[in-house]
Structure 1
Amino acid sequence: MNAVPTAGPSALLRPTPGTRGEGTTRRLPDGSGPAIAVILTAYLLPARLVFPPLAAVGRPAVVLAIVLFLWWSLTRLHPRLAVRGRQPMRWILAGYLATLGASYIAGLARGLPPLEANGADRAMVMAIGGAGLLLILADGVLTRDRVDRVLRWFCWACGFMAMVALGQFALRRDFTTHLNLPPVLVFQRDVIGFDDRGGAGLFRVAGTAGHYIEFSVLMVIGLLVAMHLGRYSPLRRDRQIFTALAVLQAGVIPLSLSRTGVLALGAAVLLLALAWPLRTTLNVMAVGVVVAAAIQVVRPGLLQSLRALLVAGERDPSVRGRTEDYAFVAPYIAERPWFGRGAGTWLPELYQLLDNQWLLTLVTTGWVGVTGLVLLFGGGIMVAGRIRRHAKLTRDRDLALVLAVAVGVTAVSSFTFDSLHFSTYFLTVHLLLGLIGALWRVTRAEPTNEGG
C-alpha cells in the first residue's frame, strides 16, 4: 500500500495554445489527495469526535471538506488554476443548493428560536462541506488513474471500519474510545457503543460510524467499490486484495443487525446482476453463500435474527414508529408545504426523531427541497447512466454502473433513517457524486481549459 497522499496540489500538465502555435503547459490542482484526506478522517476517526469549539460541524472530515470548498472557489478566480469545461455535476449541485438556500431563507423569515437557528446554520455549513468534496473531485480529479486512486483509498478506509466492527463483535469491546486523535478532539456525545437486539445475546455494532444503519449502508457501498476493483485492478495481487476486502465488508453487514443493510445489499446485487455477465453473477452468489455459511457457523442465530427482523413488519416497534410519524408531521407539512420550516430546524429534542430522510426533507424544506434532493440523487444517476452508454472501456462502464447503483442505494436507504444528519454518510454521498463528475470528464475527454 502506498503512503498516504498529501493534500497539496500536484502538477497536471495540460497543453494550451501558445503565441506561435506552440504548446505551453498549465498546472492544474490535483483534487485526489485532499479528497482522500477527507475520506480517511471520516472513516478512520469515530463519527462523534469533534473540535470542541465547532460542536456538530467540528468533525475533522467536515472541516477539511469546507476548506476544499474555499480552495475550489479560489481556483475559479484565476484562469491558470481554474478547471473549466462542461461539468453537469456542477449544475446539479447548484440546483440542490439553491433549493436548500431558499428553505433556509424561508426559515429565517418565519423567525427561529435559538436552537432551530443553530440547526439551520449547521445544515448550511454541512452543505458547503459536501459541495467542497463533490466539486474538488469533479473538477480536480482529471485522469482515470486518479479516479482509481481515490477508489482504492476509499476501499481501504471502508476495510478499516469493517475491521473495527469485527473486533467489536468478536471481543465485545469498543475500540473507538481510544481513537481520539489528535488529543485536541473530544467526543461530542458518547460513542455509539453496542445495542442488544434479537435476543440470544446478540448485539449491534457500528464500527466508527455514527449509527448502526449508517454503518450497514456504508459497508454495502464499500462492497460495491471493492467488487469493481477486485474485477478490474490491473495487477492480480490487487484483484485478490480487493476481493478479500469485498468479502470482509459483506461479512460485517449482518453485524449491524439492520434491516436496511440487508435490503440495500440485496437491491444492489440484484441491480448489478441485471448488467453483469452470468458467470460474474454466479461467482458472486457462490461467494455470498460461503460468507453466509461462515457467519452461521461462527455466530449461530445471527442470520435467523435478521430474518425475523425482516418479516416482523408492523409488529416491530421501529417500523410502527416510522409509520406513525406521517400522522404526526402532517400538520407541519400542511402549514408550510413549499419551502418547509427551514433546513435543519426539525430537532428531535424539540419535536421527535424522524427515521426517514425524505419525510424530514419534506417537513424542513418543503416540496421545493424534496425536488432538490431528487435532483441531487437522480441527476447523479442519470449522468452515470450517460457515462455507461458512451464509455469505450469495459471498466469505465462497470464503474459508472457501480456508482449509479451506490447512489441509488443511498437514496432508497434514506427512507429508513435521517441519513443526511450523519456526516460520514453525508460525505460519502457527495464522494460518489463527485466521482461520477470526475468519470464523466475523463471518459468524454472533456477539455479542461476552455468554456465555462
Structure 2
Amino acid sequence: MDLSRRDAVRRSQLDAVSALTVYLATLFLVESRLVIGPLGGAGRPAFLVACASLAWWAYHHVQRPLPTGVGPEPLRRALLAMTVAFLASFVAAMTRPITGLESGTAHLGLLTVLSWMGVALLTLDGVPTFVRMDTLITRVVVAGAFLGTLGVAQFVTGDPLVRALSLPGLVGDDALPGLGMRNGFTRPFGTALHPIEYGAVISMLLPLAISWAHRPSARPWLLSWAPAALMGFGVVVSVSRSALICAGAALIVVAAGWQPRARRMLVAAVAGIFVFVAIAVPGMLGSIRGLFVTAGTDNSVASRTGSYPFAWEFFETAPFFGRGYSTFLPMYRIFDNQYLLLLVEVGVVGLVTVLAVLVAGIDAARRTRRLTSDPVLAEHAQALAAGLVGGSLGLAFYDGFSFPMATGVMFLLLGMAGALYRLVRYGEVHERIGPRDDSSPEPVPAPDGT
C-alpha cells in the first residue's frame, strides 16, 4: 500500500469508535476520584470526553441530518424524552426556594445528563460498520478485563495500587474511601469510586466478555476466555450482594439464547469459579453465603427498606417533575436505590422516561437477535441485552447514577445495542460521524440481506 493510500485509510478510521476508545481509556484507566482541580466535579476526564462527544454528534447532524427512519427510533426518542424530563426537573428546581449547594449540584447534574446523551448518541449513530462494531466490542472487553484484573490484584495484595499514581493536572478527592472490608475480606474498587460500583460495572460487561470469547478466532482458547474469567472472579471477590445478583441475572439472560449443552457448560464454568475461590480463599464462600442468609438483619438492607416512608414525604411535595435531579444530597439521606431516588428528584415523569430508555435499549438488542442470521452478531446482541438487564436490576440496589463509571458503561451499552440494531436492520447505509475517505469501499449490506 502506498503512503497516500495508507494515510487515507488511517483518516477513514478516525471515527466515533476512535472517540469512544478515548472515552473508555479515560473512564477505566483514570481513577474516578481524579479531576481537573479548578473544574471540581465537572473536571473528570471521561466527563469532558463525553460532553465533547455530544458536541461532535450534534455538529455532525446539523451538517448532515440522518435520513428519516434510519436507526432504532424508540431508543432515540426515549433518550430525547429522558433529556426533556430531566430538563423540566431542573427548571422546577430553579423556580423553588433552593440552597446554593443544591443549585450547584443541579447545574452539574444537568451537564452530567448531557454527557450520558453524548456517549449513547455518538455510539448509536456513529459506529459505521460491522468491523468497527467488532473493534469497539473488543476494546470494551479489554477495558473490562483490565478492571477485573486490577480488582483481583487489589484483593490479593490488600493495596489500592492506583492511589500511589499521580497524573499531571489532576487532583484527587482524599475524602473518598479506599479499600473496604467485609467479613474480614478486602473489597476491591479498581479505578471506580466504590466496591459496589466496581461490582456493578464488571457484572454488566461479563456477558459481553462471554460472547466475545465464543466467537470464532485464531486466538488461543485461554486468551479468549481470560477476560470473562477475570471478570467472573472479580464479581466474587467484590463481596457485593448486588454484584452477585446482577451477574446472576445477566448470565441467565445470556444462557436463554443458548443450546442446552452450552448452558450446562456455563453452569460448570460458574461452579468451577466458585470451587477455585473456595480453595484459594478459605472462608470466602461462607462470607458470600452470609450475605444472603443474614440479609434480613443486615444494616444495609434495613437502610434501604427504611428509606421508603422518608422518600414518600418528598415525593408528595413534587410528584410529577420532582425536586430537581441531583438536588437530594447525600447529607440528607442515602437511599441505595436509584429508582427511589429518581422518584424524589425527577418525579414520576422522569422515572418513567428512564425506564423507557432501559426497556428500549434491551428491546433493540432483542430485535437485533431476531433479525440477524449471523450467530456471532446474535450472541453479541443477547450479551448486550443481558448487560443492560443486569445494570437495570442493579439500580434497585444502589444509587447508580451517582457513580460515573457505572453510568458511563450503562449508556455506552445502550448506544451499542442501538448501533448493532441499526447495522443489522438498515445496513451500513448512512454517513459515518468523522472524516470519510472518498476512496473507501462501498457499504457492506447487513447479514440478513436488508
Per the normalisation by structure 1, the TM-score is 0.89
**What corresponds to 2:299 in structure 1?**
317
Q: Which amino acid aligns with 1:97?
A: T
**What corresponds to 1:106 in structure 2?**
92
Cα deviation code 1:136-183 (max 9, x no counterpart): 1111101111111111111111111112111111111111113332x1
User: 1:117 aligned to 2:100?
Assistant: no
Quote the Cα distance in structure 2 between the aligned partners of 1:31 and 1:330: 42
Match 1:432 to one of 394, 413, 416: 413
Q: Which amino acid aligns with 1:76?
A: H
**What corresponds to 2:166 in structure 1?**
180
Match 2:367 to one of 362, 372, 386: 386
Cα deviation code 1:76-105 (max 9, x no counterpart): 2223xx554522232221111111111111
**What corresponds to 1:242 in structure 2?**
224
Q: How does 1:252-267 map to 2 (within 5 A)?
A: 252-267=234-249
Cα deviation code 1:30-71 (max 9, x no counterpart): 200101111111111111111112211211011101011111
User: 1:138 aligned to 2:104?
Assistant: no
For structure 2, list consecutive stretches of 5 or more residues without a partner in the other structure.
Answer: 1-8, 433-450
Match 2:210 to one of 227, 230, 242: 227
Contact 2:251-2:386 within 8 A present in 1 as well: no
Quote the Cα distance in structure 2 between the aligned partners of 1:43 and 1:281: 31
Quote the Cα distance in structure 2 between the aligned partners of 1:274 and 1:228: 13
Quote the Cα distance in structure 1 between the aligned partners of 2:22 and 2:80: 24
User: 1:342 aligned to 2:336?
Assistant: no
SS for the counterpart of 2:426 is: coil
User: 1:162 aligned to 2:148?
Assistant: yes
Quote the Cα distance in structure 1 between the aligned partners of 2:315 and 2:388: 27
The 1:417–1:299 alpha-carbon spacing in structure 2 relative to 1, beyond 3 Å, is same
Which is further off, 69-78 or 409-418?
69-78
Q: Sequence identity of aligned pairs in percent?
A: 29
SS for the counterpart of 1:186 is: strand
Q: Which amino acid aligns with 2:12?
A: A
User: 1:209 aligned to 2:195?
Assistant: no
SS for the counterpart of 1:210 is: coil
SS for the counterpart of 1:235 is: coil
User: 1:195 aligned to 2:180?
Assistant: yes
Contact 1:100-1:372 within 8 A present in 2 as well: no
Moved segments of 4+, more than 3 Å: 82-85, 189-192
Q: Which amino acid aligns with 1:352?
A: R
Contact 1:383-1:436 within 8 A present in 2 as well: yes
**What corresponds to 2:46 in structure 1?**
61
**What corresponds to 1:26 in structure 2?**
none
The 1:401–1:222 alpha-carbon spacing in structure 2 relative to 1, beyond 3 Å, is same
Tell me by how many angstroms 1:240 deviates: 3.9
Q: How does 1:11-30 map to 2 (within 5 A)?
A: 11=12, 30=15
The 1:269–1:66 alpha-carbon spacing in structure 2 relative to 1, beyond 3 Å, is same
SS for the counterpart of 2:397 is: coil
Per the normalisation by structure 2, the TM-score is 0.90
Which is further off, 283-292 or 422-431?
283-292
User: 1:302 aligned to 2:284?
Assistant: yes
Match 1:404 to one of 371, 381, 385: 385
The 1:361–1:309 alpha-carbon spacing in structure 2 relative to 1, beyond 3 Å, is same
SS for the counterpart of 1:416 is: coil
Q: Which amino acid aligns with 1:31?
A: A
Quote the Cα distance in structure 2 between the aligned partners of 1:396 and 1:336: 44
Which is further off, 169-178 or 354-363?
169-178
**What corresponds to 2:352 in structure 1?**
371
Quote the Cα distance in structure 1 between the aligned partners of 2:26 and 2:366: 30
User: 1:50 aligned to 2:51?
Assistant: no
What's the C-alpha RMSD, in Å, of the aligned pairs? 1.8
The 1:170–1:449 alpha-carbon spacing in structure 2 relative to 1, beyond 3 Å, is closer
Matched length: 420
Q: Which amino acid aligns with 1:11?
A: S
The 1:367–1:392 alpha-carbon spacing in structure 2 relative to 1, beyond 3 Å, is same
**What corresponds to 1:37 in structure 2?**
22
Contact 2:180-2:195 within 8 A present in 1 as well: no
User: 1:76 aligned to 2:76?
Assistant: no
User: 1:281 aligned to 2:263?
Assistant: yes
Contact 2:314-2:344 within 8 A present in 1 as well: yes
User: 1:395 aligned to 2:396?
Assistant: no
Which is further off, 60-69 or 309-318?
309-318
Tell me by how many angstroms 1:189 deviates: 3.5
Tell me by how many angstroms 1:191 deviates: 4.8
Tell me by how many angstroms 1:238 deviates: 6.2
SS for the counterpart of 2:109 is: helix
Q: Which amino acid aligns with 1:318?
A: S
Greater RCO, 1 or 2 (C-alpha within 8 Å, sep 6+):
2
Quote the Cα distance in structure 1 between the aligned partners of 2:312 and 2:154: 40
Cα deviation code 1:101-144 (max 9, x no counterpart): 11111111113211111111111111111111111111110111
Quote the Cα distance in structure 2 between the aligned partners of 1:106 and 1:433: 28
Contact 1:325-1:354 within 8 A present in 2 as well: yes
Q: Which amino acid aligns with 1:422?
A: F
SS for the counterpart of 1:225 is: helix
Quote the Cα distance in structure 1 between the aligned partners of 2:212 and 2:238: 25
Contact 1:216-1:253 within 8 A present in 2 as well: yes
Tell me by how many angstroms 1:336 deviates: 0.8
Tell me by how many angstroms 1:9 deviates: 8.9
Q: Which amino acid aligns with 1:204?
A: R
Tell me by how many angstroms 1:444 deviates: 1.4
The 1:240–1:84 alpha-carbon spacing in structure 2 relative to 1, beyond 3 Å, is farther
Q: Which amino acid aligns with 1:64?
A: V
For structure 1, list consecutive stretches of 5 or more residues without a partner in the other structure.
Answer: 1-7, 13-28
Contact 1:169-1:205 within 8 A present in 2 as well: yes
Q: Which amino acid aligns with 1:151?
A: I
Contact 1:192-1:206 within 8 A present in 2 as well: no
Which is further off, 406-415 or 86-95?
86-95
Quote the Cα distance in structure 2 between the aligned partners of 1:330 and 1:445: 45
SS for the counterpart of 1:196 is: strand
